[in-house]
Structure 1
Amino acid sequence: MFRNIGSNWAVILVTIGVTYFLMPFVLHTLGQDGYGTWNLINSITGYLGLLVLGVPMASVRYFAEHVAERDPRKLNAAIGSCTGLYLIMGAAALLVGVGLYAFFTLTYHIPAGWQPEARLAFFLVVLSVAAGFIAMLPEGIMAAHHDFVLRNLVVLGRLVLRLGLTLALLTLRASLVFLALVQIACVVFEFSVSWLIVRRRYQGVRLSFVDFEWSTVRRIFSFSLYVLILNAGVRLSFETDSLVIGAFMNVGWIPFYTVANTLVIYLIEFIIAIAAVVMPMATKLKTEGRAADLREVFLKWSKIAMSLTLMVGLFLIVLGPQFLGWWIGQSFEGPAGQVLQILTVSALVFLPVRGVAQPILMGLGRPGIPTVAFLVAGVLNLGLSVLFVGPLGLAGVALGTGIPNVLFALVVLVFACRELETPVTQYVRYVVVRSVVGALPVLALLLWFRLGLGIHTIVGLVGAGAAMRSAGWTRPAACVEPGVSGGLLILEAALALVLLGIVVELGTRWWLRRQGAYYVWPPGLRLYLHLDRTVFPELEPLARIEINADGERGGAVPRSRDGLYRVLVGGGSPVECALLDQATSWPGALERLLQKPEHLWKLGASAVHVGNIGSSGVTSQALNLILERVLARYRQLDAIIIMVGGNDVFHWLGKGAPPSPEYPPLPASKVFSYHPEGPFGWRPGALAVIELLKRLRWRWLRPVKVRRGSGAWVAKARAMRARAREIRATTPDPTPMLDFFEAQLRQLLR
């Protein structure tokens, strides 16, 4: 039993880890408008999930019944009936999706730059939701056979696939369509692998429409009605906030709410995993007439849920805003942090009831009150969110979610205590008072970390979490409870993984600083620029920039260096030739010229290689730094060609042509794409491990990065020049600028 719960918790932890990397990556790649639009699409299409009508939970019930009876005929009849239902529901989802698309386009203002992608992505997400219905079938079969661990291994594979595809595709282009295609790929992967396992593991199981039976369909629907109402309440409670924010504020505000809500949802999923133990246990104890044992389970497991909720919740309330500021960005610490605190406070009351009291009532065959209460709470959530969003903004939406959840918890708790003949005062004394008293020292410790030390770094946040865990406040409440040690072991393993990650990160930083080299261009980069033909009709339509293993634009250096005449070209945009194809650029033409036999004979060489490290915007100061750091990597160079000077004048004029220009030292990050100096940080985009993985990806996989409409900015620059009201024909004395240029040039030529 705890093995299954542990595998559920493992999936949750991995999901959190994947989200930890993907959320800021997707947010920064798409921008706030793009990410908000993506969340809006998922919020609207998520309602299509209601069309499943609670069939998955009902199917598991009947699958499990027939598995226990060892009746393959009835099992296959249930499978065939559910297959037909899923296909009908999938077709209905496609039809309803068309109506939701009209609602999406007419109700919400999507930024103009995202409108074409948003339309196509919307239909692709609808398709993935519709296909996801039939993908639930093998999941139900495995659950009926109690193969939760195997099922969760498939889910872990899907998470890894989602992580890899998202990173790879969004690196190529920031696209909502790519994100939608990732969803479809994950659905196909999960169904294919799961069904392959079902066919090989469970003999006699088949998928055939011949087994479809209307009598079985009626039995499934009779049970799924309550599940449908419950799912509707859950959807209203946790998935409508983005719709309210998008309608009454702006889609750009959705990410601030979504980021905070995601942390709370993962906490909810972690606690709800306990229901997998509590609900069947309640059914068993009721059948055996062990009412006293049932009350004991109710109180003890409620205290377990309360302890776990407090352990995570207090950290999120006190240090959650700082975590969001570090994780996503400082702009999220204020608005998203306030939302996180409000939602977490309500979760302290809501989660112990949602994770224990409600599943016990479901196990006792009393789903009516909790189901209706959840639906009412969802409707109230929508109403309060609309009422509060105007005067209070994001905080109002959070209050609109938190208040109904607290009311739901109180109603269900009173009903559960009445059913189990347990006084509410006894529940408060045993569950709430004990847990809260044990949490007070930890609350004081967290407040000291927050107010006394003012921590904002990941090291400080991890240290605060470790200190909170080391305080041992969960032990008095948990050590006497059966099975709690398994939950604590999961949490301790998660903390150990975090600490291991820190060690790996610090080791990677040390290695990069010790072994890392300086590269103007990322080795292995393949960049294809499709030029704007209205701006450059005379140029080639495609300009390919391909970087070899030495970080040069040009072909690969011959393995045999015998008789090789090697040339290195450096400078600014006249050297880079960004809008010219590799072969058309003058360094490429130079290599072809020198490769002619008569020129090879004069050079005394058998081959010539011209490597280009030119980059737009390079000044004499930057070129000096480039050659100082790069030349150490070269064992052989026969000639160095530089072209520099224009950018020195350009930058001087850009600063207003000051008579005494200042030239502060250039940081490596301004000149080099890859360098060992850092600065590294603890946000996902600043991790040394991520930097190393990026380098390996470019070097080994060599993906093609495509940019369309390149050079369109030139048209805007020409228009701006045409609108200029003043043309300056004179400048102040350029001598200081020229003196600096000469000094850099002399140093460069030493």
Structure 2
Amino acid sequence: MGTSGYFARNSVIRIVSFAVGVGFALFVTPVVVGTLGKTNYGVWVLVSSVACYFLLLEGGVMQAVSRHAAAALARDDRHEVDRVCTAGFALHALSCCLALCVTGGLALFAGVFASDQLPVERLRQCLVIYSVCLSLFFLFRTHTGLLMAEMRWTLIAVLAMLRSAFTSLAVLLMITPENGLWLLAAVNGGGFLLEGAACLLFARRSGRGRVRVALFDAALARELLGYGWAFTVTQLGESMRYRSQNYIIALFSGVREVAVFSIAMQFIGYFLSLMQSAFGIMVPYFSRMQARGDRDDTAGSLLFALRLSYVTASFIGLCLIFYGQEFIVLWLGPGFAEAHDALVPLTLGAVFSLGMLPADGYLLGTARHRMLARCAMAEGVSIVLLSLALAGPFGMEGVAWAYCGVALVFRAGVVPWFVFTQAGLPLLAYARLLAEVAVTHVAPQVLLYLIMRGTLGTGYLQLALLAGMQGVLAVGIQSSLLRFTRGAA
């Protein structure tokens, strides 16, 4: 199957799943903010961010299982798939025990996040519920990795969509000022557990990936950890890039400012999820191509995927910059309008970061990800240090510009240089790719915005029409370019 066919078959339903999740989130967020208030909503942002660091305790085992199982499936080696899943489940069980121990520590130190409006007992309850659910979630991650290795992206996307619907409806129906925090913890944590259990059931139905004690191989487990820990370092860098800002802003400006900044980061989170839905499917694809020795096809697929990812990222980024402020005011009111001041630099940095997602998949899929891990960690540390320097004099805007500047250095410079060198491609091809996207997509969309700005008035429908016009323009230009390229070939 060609790269374009792979994208068409596997990305569409993932994007639909993302759209459903975002739709629910956009509807639920004003209800949650209105019920909790800015201060307690800021506390929930911090609590959920702390719990999200739990995924680092997994040690990247799910991704390691996905890569090793994908290579075994390419060779049709069922026995090896069972060995990989057995070793992966043992490691995930260890992660679960470790996470439960960390949960106890969080319960002891819950008072650090308490506020005058939030008793420490209620906060401790929230932390424990959410953390226990995430700890148990590790027990299902091996079979999720197997589904990824089998490239059953449609199934994974449908399950994620059902989880979004379940959690959103439960919150809408049951949230009150009294139960708000623990309900958010229970519903979101329970949703992850239900999704994981469904992945386990579907993976077992395929008859592959059986967990058998007799097949446990300590050497294979160490190999999975060796791959996974490098991936974990990458995740740690990602966490510092996307989650450290809330703590820094809380330190310098207070929890209420976190609530405003979190809205900008929420849009970046949607941006990230959409791009991962469309382009985060390349790891097993590149693993299989490497197992078959398709070096030339791998390089061509990488270029094709990067071109599409940058086109998509530039379109989304421009929409956030052009229409973000008006949407935020319509959605949450004028009190959150300043979130757009942080959204602009965050979006600029995210365009270059997320445009490189296929390159990340190439490095992970071909086991050349140690350099990616080093870059992610260096980028994360740089963002934290620069944010600390700028948060005092410039507040949340300084933190946002710190992210933007560091992203440009690493994601538009260091990572492309390494990826293109490893793929045997000239760096000039990357510069030409960026120039083509700027001329054929960014410039026409900016021109369209300048022409149409203010002509349709204000409102959700008008914003949707303007964004839709930009989308039609982007799709039309890309389709024409693809037809021209095929005709020239």
Return the TM-score normalized by structure 2: 0.89
Residue 88 of structure 1 aligns with an amino acid whose one-letter code is L
**Contact 1:449/1:455 (CA < 8 Å) preserved in 2?**
no
Find the partner of 1:360 among 359, 362, 369: 362
Matched to 2:225, the amino acid is F
- Using CA pairs under 8 Å that are at least 6 residues apart, name the structure with larger relative contact order, 1 or 2: 2
Equivalent residue, structure 2, for 1:254 = 258
- Once residues 250 and 144 of structure 1 are traced to their aligned partners in structure 2, the CA distance between those partners, rounded to angstroms, is 43
Cα 1:99/1:171, change in 2 over 3 Å: closer
Which aligned pairs between 1:131-210 and structure 2 lie closer than 5 A? 131-171=136-176, 173-199=178-204, 201-203=205-207, 206-209=210-213
Match among 211, 224, 229 for residue 225 of structure 1: 229
Q: Which residue of 2 aligns with 1:378?
A: 380
Q: Secondary structure at the match of 2:115?
A: coil
Partner residue in 2 for 1:442: 445
Instruction: Name the aligned partner's letter for residue 392 of structure 2.
Output: G
Contact 1:303 1:477 in 2 (8 A): no
1:78/1:414 CA distance change after superposition, 3 Å: closer
What is the CA deviation profile of residues 686-720 of structure 1, one whole-angstrom value per residue up to 9, with x for unaligned ones? Answer: xxxxxxxxxxxxxxxxxxxxxxxxxxxxxxxxxxx
Cα distance in structure 1, aligned partners of 2:75 and 2:293: 23
2:478 alignment partner in structure 1: 477
Q: 1:347 to 1:71 in 2, by over 3 A?
A: closer
In the alignment, the residues of structure 2 paired with residue 389 and residue 273 of structure 1 have an alpha-carbon distance, to the nearest angstrom, of 32
Instruction: Specify whether residues 122 and 276 from structure 1 end up closer, same or farther in structure 2 by C-alpha distance, changes over 3 A only.
Output: closer
Q: Match for residue 84 of structure 1? A: 90
Cα distance in 2 for partners of 1:278, 1:87 equals 27
Q: Which residue of 2 aligns with 1:553?
A: none
Partner of 2:328: 324
CA pair 41-442 structure 1, distance change in 2 beyond 3 A = same
Residue equivalent to 1:242: 246
Maintained 8 Å contact 2:35/2:177 = no
More helix by share: 2
Could you say if the C-alpha distance between residues 82 and 302 of structure 1 is closer, same or farther in structure 2, counting changes exceeding 3 Å? Answer: closer
Q: What is the letter of the counterpart of residue 12 of structure 2?
A: G
Give the drift of 1:265: 2.1
TM superposition shift of 1:205? 5.2
| Matched-pair contact (CA < 8 Å) for 1:77–1:211 | yes
Structure 1 residue 60, shift from structure 2 partner: 1.7
Q: Report what 1:299 is aligned to.
A: 303
Q: How does 1:617-636 map to 2 (within 5 A)?
A: none
Scaled by the length of structure 1, the TM-score of the pair is 0.59
Residue 66 of structure 2 is aligned to residue 57 of structure 1: no
Counterparts of 1:670-685 in structure 2 under 5 Å? none
Q: Which residue of 1 aligns with 2:3?
A: none
How far is the alpha carbon of 1:37 from its aligned partner?
A: 0.8
Tell me the alpha carbon deviations over residues 286-335 of structure 1, each in whole angstroms, 9 at most, x when there is no partner.
667666554443433322212111211111111111111111221111x2
CA distance in 1 between partners of 2:305 and 2:73 (Å): 29
Alpha-carbon distance change, 380 to 86 in structure 1, aligned in 2, over 3 angstroms? same
Structure 2 counterpart of 1:329, which letter?
A: G
Is this contact kept in 2: 1:48–1:97, CA < 8 A?
A: no
Alpha carbons of structure 1 residues 422 and 71: separation in structure 2 relative to 1, 3 Å? closer
Question: Per the alignment, in what secondary structure is the counterpart of residue 112 of structure 1?
Answer: coil
- Sort the Cα spacing of 1:368 and 1:144 in 2 relative to 1 into closer, same or farther, 3 A: closer
Structure 2 residue aligned with 1:649: none
Q: In the aligned structure 2, how far is the partner of 1:473 from the partner of 1:61?
A: 33
> Residues 62 and 78 of structure 1 are in contact (CA less than 8 Å); yes or no, is this contact kept in structure 2?
yes
* Conserved 8 A contact 1:326-1:456: no
Measured in 2, the distance between the counterparts of 1:180 and 1:277 equals: 29
The structure where strand makes up a greater share of residues is 1
Rounded Cα–Cα distance in structure 2 between residues aligned with 1:378 and 1:94: 27
Q: What letter corresponds to residue 345 of structure 1 in structure 2? A: L
Q: Distance in 1 between matches of 2:395 and 2:65?
A: 42
Cα deviation, residue 258, structure 1: 1.4
Q: Distance in 1 between matches of 2:65 and 2:392?
A: 43
- The residue that corresponds to 1:467 in the other structure is 469
The CA deviation at 1:357 is 2.7
Q: Take 2:251 and 2:177, find their aligned partners in 1: how far apart are those partners?
A: 32
Look up the SS of the partner of 1:340 in the other structure.
helix
Match of 2:403 in 1: 401
The residue that corresponds to 1:268 in the other structure is 272
Structure index of larger Rg: 1
Query: Quick one: distance in 2 between partners of 1:162 and 1:341?
Result: 30
Q: 3-state DSSP class of the match of 2:139?
A: helix
**For the Cα contact (< 8 Å) 2:133–2:192, is it kept in 1?**
yes
**How far apart, CA to CA, are the structure 1 residues paired with 2:329 and 2:458?**
8
Contact 1:18–1:159, Cα closer than 8 Å, also in 2: yes
**Structure 2: any 5+ residue segments left out of the alignment?**
1-5
Tell me the distance in 1 between the aligned counterparts of 2:125 and 2:292: 56
Distance 1:413 1:68, change over 3 A: closer
Give the stretch that moved more between structures: 399-408 or 288-297.
288-297
Q: Which residue among 34, 46, 53 is the counterpart of 2:52?
A: 46
> In 2 relative to 1, CA 322–151 (structure 1 residues): closer, same or farther, beyond 3 Å?
same
In 2: Cα distance, 1:434 partner to 1:81 partner: 44
Q: How does 1:699-738 map to 2 (within 5 A)?
A: none
Q: Contact conserved, 1:33 with 1:111, CA < 8 A, in 2?
A: no
Deviates more, 1:155-164 or 1:143-152: 143-152
Paired residues, number: 477
Amino acid at match of 2:246: S
> Match for residue 428 of structure 1?
431
Greater Cα shift, 71-80 or 29-38: 71-80
SS in 1 for 2:175: helix
Distance 1:226 1:320 in 2: 36
RMSD: 2.7
Contact 2:456 2:462 in 1 (8 A): no
Tell me which amino acid in the other structure corresponds to 2:433. Answer: Y
CA distance in 2, matches of 1:282, 1:87: 28
